[in-house]
Structure 1
Amino acid sequence: MPNSTSLPLNDPRCALIVIDVQNDFIPGGNLAVAGGDEIVPLINRLAPRFRNVIIAQDWHPAGHASFASSHPGRQPFDTVQLAYGTQVLWPDHCLQGSHGAQLHADLQLPHARLVIRKGCNPQIDSYSAFVEADRQTPTGLAGYLRECGIDTVYLVGLALDYCVAWSALDARAAGFNTVLIPDACRAIDLDGSLKRAMAQMETAGVQFMEAKDLMNL
């Protein structure tokens, strides 16, 4: 498999995956990521350089098991044990069909080939665009990429230390060349989660490249 940086971004084997750039993760949203809106112009500059663009979108039913409101007496950012392990509890966010679940209005990705919605199972969270939080249920994204002959993915979006990092780790586990673009992401950084996520990605072989460097290729 070629090194990802040896391929031009518009090579049909490359794809840009834009993760969860949705209103509820933007300042003012129910689960806002600081500076989340700042990445939108950069993504809009990057995306036209890729032939293949894929969007991942959080898409929760009401009463989702990952919501603190579904667990009486619990508060957002508490943890509970669910059937698949420890789950961080979140404020209600990205409810199916809601304004909060919509993509940021300024995001310009008209040539995106696929929107993959995750977190739809009311009993299982899904940070990753590849595998749900039970670590057993695939979303189908890996199969789609392989069917399209894509072997190299670049990741941007929100939040770096959760949905983006989990997606990057699962992309590597599935055998894809994986590049994280840190300046086109923002993190929650809950109790050191950003440092842990960056270390895990580095160990897994995820590459890191700044958007400004990619746009000079």
Structure 2
Amino acid sequence: MPEFAVGASDALVVVDLQVDFCPGGALAVRGGDQVVPPVNRLLALPGWLKVATRDWHPPGHVSFRAQGGAWPPHCVAGTPGARFHPGVDASRVDLIVSKAARPEADAYSGFEGTALAADLRGRGVKRIFVCGLATDYCVRATALDGRREGLEVVVVEDAVRAVDLKEGDGARALEEMRRAGCRMARSGDIAG
């Protein structure tokens, strides 16, 4: 029996499941494409809001190495690498949130510099289920900001993958999210 029944006060937040973050992409997360099947299962559930965040960088973004940032160019707005992974059923997404779209500002969280919090409040959302890429960066930041916004947050563990620049970063991020009050679930624990 599913542990979580979702409804109108719930939202799925699929974080940055984009070509550049999947194998073969400019900033690939190992196994990033493995989250597509559980994400699609969640997108198919009826009765809740489905949100997808995306990195949507302009050329020359502050996060890129050429500008002194930490990362190679990735998810440049309008390029093939910025598209959602082709296996994701993006037709089921109700709301797309573009983040880090200004050249001088980086953002890991789907809440940072966007209207996501207001959109969720306006729709009566009280609980979000967070999945996508990467556990130790944008998933972590989005989940923690969700808690700061007063939302109940559930991280879907089989639908996230970590960069793990340092071994164990993903596990440490999951533990940090737990300590902040996020609950953990598997996609099979969630039903519409």
TM-score after normalising by structure 1: 0.83
1:201 aligns with 177
Question: How far apart are 1:120 and its partner, in Å?
Answer: 0.6
1:169 maps to 2:166: no
Question: How far apart are 1:199 and its partner, in Å?
Answer: 2.3
Q: 2:158 aligns with which of 177, 183, 206?
A: 183
CA distance in 2 between counterparts of 1:48 and 1:209 reads 17
CA contact (8 A) 2:133 2:162 kept: yes
Question: How far apart are 1:139 and its partner, in Å?
Answer: 1.1
CA distance in 1 between counterparts of 2:157 and 2:5 reads 19
CA distance in 1 between counterparts of 2:70 and 2:63 reads 5
CA distance in 1 between counterparts of 2:156 and 2:139 reads 10
Question: How far apart are 1:195 and its partner, in Å?
Answer: 3.1
CA distance in 1 between counterparts of 2:18 and 2:3 reads 31
CA contact (8 A) 2:5 2:190 kept: no
What is the one-letter code of the residue matched to 2:184? F
CA distance in 2 between counterparts of 1:125 and 1:170 reads 15
Q: Structure 1's 39 and 186: CA in aligned 2 closer, same or farther, altered over 3 A?
A: same
CA distance in 2 between counterparts of 1:196 and 1:39 reads 19
Radius of gyration: which is bigger?
1
2:26 aligns with 30
1:130 aligns with 111
1:53 aligns with 50
Q: How many residues align?
A: 189
Offset from partner CA, 1:93-116 (integer Å, 9 cap, x none): 000100000011111132321100
CA distance in 2 between counterparts of 1:107 and 1:119 reads 22
1:83 aligns with none
1:67 aligns with 64
Higher relative contact order (CA 8 A, sep 6+): 2
1:77 aligns with none
Question: How far apart are 1:27 and its partner, in Å?
Answer: 0.3
Q: Give identity over the alignment, percent.
A: 40
2:92 aligns with 111
What is the one-letter code of the residue matched to 1:46? L
CA distance in 1 between counterparts of 2:3 and 2:27 reads 37
CA distance in 1 between counterparts of 2:93 and 2:17 reads 14
CA distance in 2 between counterparts of 1:202 and 1:103 reads 28
For structure 2, the residue ranges without an aligned partner over 5 or more in a row are none
Offset from partner CA, 1:167-212 (integer Å, 9 cap, x none): 0000000000100001101110122422331222111100000112
1:214 maps to 2:190: yes
CA contact (8 A) 2:4 2:190 kept: no
What is the one-letter code of the residue matched to 1:40? V
TM-score after normalising by structure 2: 0.93
Q: More displaced, 189-198 or 138-147?
A: 189-198
What is the one-letter code of the residue matched to 1:8? A
1:98 aligns with 79
Question: How far apart are 1:6 and its partner, in Å?
Answer: 7.6
CA contact (8 A) 2:14 2:53 kept: yes
Question: How far apart are 1:67 and its partner, in Å?
Answer: 0.6
